[in-house]
Amino acid sequence: MSRLRASLDVAAIAAQRFVAHDGWAIASHIALSILTSLFPFLILLAALAGLFGSKSLADEAGVLIFDAWPREVASPIVGEMHRVLTEQRGGVLTLGALLALYFSSSGVESLRVGLNRAYGLREGRPWWLTRLESIAYVVCGALAMLAFALLVVLGPLIWRKVLDVAPGLEPLSLTVAIARIAITATLIAVVLVIAHKFVAAGRRSFAAVLPGIAVTLMLWFLAGLGFGYYLDRFSSAYASTYGGLATAMVFLVFLYWLAAMFLFGGEINGTVIAARRRRLQAKMQARQAEARPL
């Protein structure tokens, strides 16, 4: 019971910190930055996949991004994504790729701003250094997406070869579908760990960022279910309000809530770290007081 009470107290303090740190405004900044950087990132993904001789690999990697999203949100975006990734672009590996790389790194920069506020830190490095770091994260992320996509593409092919040799394993075919979901979940978890440990200023241990990551994943899961249920029944409200922009607005609103939950997870970690720091300082002061001569 005391642990539950302590968890509720941490959540309440984190909510107060979220409001004090302008969490709603930062969440809108993150959502808009991700919206504007998503398709440049997909263009970069296609360019890198072209270097390996398979643009379909970029398409598969793009699908992986939206695998965990509600169908009502992801379906219209996936359609546009297929068009972007299959369109021929002359010179995309030169100036276009450089611009896509720069604009897609803005999404990382927005996460940095939000996490620094959540952890109560100030970025002391020059802007160009953090921007280069964000670009490095984008490139590494794109290569990781292509690697995961290669596993997803090769997985069924390898499985069919295995079944040809050992037909008795046919009942285990569900494993392939489960593996795809596991890959998507792994990608999300890895991105959250990297964001909390390395994107924000300073360094934190894995144990220090784990509570916020767990809260974020839980909230994202509930948001996916809830938002999908809402759109399934009330999607006409967006269409009547925003007309032809309904798809973009649904996507932006969903990103907004995901960003707010992500920042709240950072506030959870910031609250726990601050509480541990205060307890440590109190213990040190108590020991110093005991060590003083009477």
Confidence check: pLDDT of 41 > 70: yes
Nearest to 80, CA basis, from 53, 62, 107, 98? 62
The domains of the chain are located at 2-291
Q: How far apart are CA 8 and CA 212, in angstroms?
A: 14
pLDDT in tens, 183-223: 777 888 888 999 999 998 888 889 899 999 999 999 998 88
- Do 53 and 8 contact (CB within 8 A), yes or no? no
Q: What integer best gives the mean pLDDT of the chain? A: 79
Rounded to whole angstroms, the Cα distance separating 133 from 164 reads 47
154-171 confidence digits (pLDDT tens): 566 566 666 667 666 666
Per-residue model confidence (pLDDT) at position 37: 82
Mean pLDDT confidence for 224-252: 73
Please give the average per-residue pLDDT across 71-81, as a whole number. Answer: 72
203 φ, ψ (degrees, to nearest 5): -135, 145
Please report the sign of the dihedral spanned by the C-alpha atoms of residue 259, residue 187, residue 267, residue 219. positive
pLDDT at 294: 55
Q: Would the pLDDT of 91 be above 60?
A: no
Which alpha helices (DSSP H) does the chain contain, by range?
Answer: 2-20, 23-51, 55-66, 71-86, 97-118, 127-165, 174-194, 206-242, 246-291
